[in-house]
A = this chain, B = another copy of it.
Amino acid sequence: MEQQLHEYKELIEKELETALYCPENFKVVEAMRYSTLGGGKRIRGALVLEFCRVFGGNVNTALCVAGAIEMLQAFSLIHDDLPCMDDDDFRRGKPSCHKQFGEAEALLAGDALLANAFNSAAASIFLPKSEGLKPQNAVSVISTLSNATFEMIKGQQLDMDFEGIAPEKISEDELIGMYNRKTCALISAACVCGAICADTSDKNLHLARGYGVALGLAFQIADDLLDFESEKTGKKTYPVLFGKKKAVEKSREYTDTAVKIAGKLREGEFLRELAITLNKREV
């Protein structure tokens, strides 16, 4: 799994490098490249590629879409770090985009990555004939990405709303509902878009979505637990609201769901291992 993930990561880096190449000298492009290239685990992009492969598609067909997902992820991190949002000075051990380039550039770089994600997805129909995405499927991918982005934004809104609410007033369902939007929307969109690239059945799209949601929830709660252990969190996360023991159980439960779905797939070994490894936060 780790070897395959590494190969996917290299393919995605190369794709992003090409997609974000600009012959002109724009500071905004520099900021886009700074925040998108050469970092990140590329889990979302890898999910696009693997779900395409698992359902019998050509990985090359899905590359533009994997790049698009990673651009959306980069956009969301840049805007989340802005002073009016989380006001984070660092991201992956280096200055965050607005610290490096200023707020105006970070705003524009996020906007430009969001816009360009859709152009990357659209470009998938122009690949050499045997690898090109059907226009109908490209539209489905674009619609899925757009919806996921809107869900992510609504999740961000709910997270902000929770800040003003007493912890005991937030139910488990409400917290999971927020995670579903903030974290799972883009992860499950990655899985679904990969499956669309393979031109597969609605039943398989449904499996992809289920895997993505379960993986996203397991991932988010495992992440919360890391923050909880290191006492870094000031936010209303699962372990903060419902205790460490229940959080560990929940994260395992969602991992089991993802593993079970992966078990239904003909070559689901990568996806099975990924779910188990992510739950341990070893990648």
Contact = CB atoms under 8 A, between A and B. Distances in A.
Interface stretch (A40-48, A101-109, A206-214): A101-109
Q: Report the interface size class on chain A.
A: 35 or more
Interface stretch (A149-157, A226-234, A247-255): A149-157
A76 to B, nearest CB: 9
B125 A146 contact: no
A4 interface: no
A112 B157 CA distance: 11
A49 interface: no
Interface in A63-79: 75, 79
A52 to B, nearest CB: 18
B143 A123 contact: yes
A150 to B, nearest CB: 5
A112 B123 CA distance: 22
B154 A26 contact: yes
A153 B119 contact: no
Contacts of A27: 157, 161
A246 B47 CA distance: 57
Contact of A138 (B103, B104, B135, B149): B135
A27 to B, nearest CB: 6
A153 B28 contact: yes
A118 interface: yes
A107 B85 contact: yes
Interface string A73-90: 001000100101100000
Contacts of A104: 84-85, 160
Contact of A122 (B125, B146, B153): B146
Contacts of A190: none
Interface of A: 24, 26-28, 75, 79, 82, 84-85, 102-104, 107-108, 110-112, 114-116, 118-119, 121-123, 125, 134-136, 138-139, 142-143, 145-147, 149-150, 153-154, 156-157, 160-161
Given A28-B153, A114-B115, A138-B139, 12 more contacts: A24-B154, A27-B161, A75-B111, A82-B107, A110-B111, A115-B153, A118-B118, A121-B142, A122-B143, A122-B146, A125-B136, A139-B142
6 contacts: A84-B104, A84-B107, A118-B146, A138-B139, A139-B139, A139-B142
